[in-house]
Amino acid sequence: MRYLEGVSTLQLDGETCIGCGLCEQVCPHAVFAVEGGKARILERDRCMECGACDRNCPVDAIRVDAGVGCASAIIQGWLTGRKPSCDSGGSCC
């Protein structure tokens, strides 16, 4: 599943990553893979900005603004049945 292209706040610091694989295990949309002893982002646009990877990374190699942006707006729309709004002053979704 992909959300909106190019809006995810997800960032991975490959230098800091220790390749533990927790990001790959906790990500509900298979955004990460561990290859060659380091995590890498497979598909950034799959990220729903839930923050599970960020909260579980033991070395703080992952950053994501959980609960912000259009991905969050889409999810909130699904949950509430309302039209998504990302508070950007326009229609983002």
Kindly report, residue by residue over 11-41, the tens digit of the pLDDT. 999 999 999 999 999 998 999 999 999 999 9
Q: No. of H helices and E strands in the chain?
A: 3, 4
Segment 50-74 shows an average pLDDT of 84
Which CATH number fits the domain that encloses residue 57? 3.30.70.20
Total domains present in the chain: 1
Instruction: Give residues with Cβ within 8 angstroms of 90, minimum separation 6.
Output: none
Segment 5-9 shows an average pLDDT of 83
Integer Cα distance of 78 and 26 in angstroms: 22
**Domain assignment present for 1:** no
Q: Is the pLDDT of residue 78 over 70?
A: yes
**Domain assignment present for 42:** yes
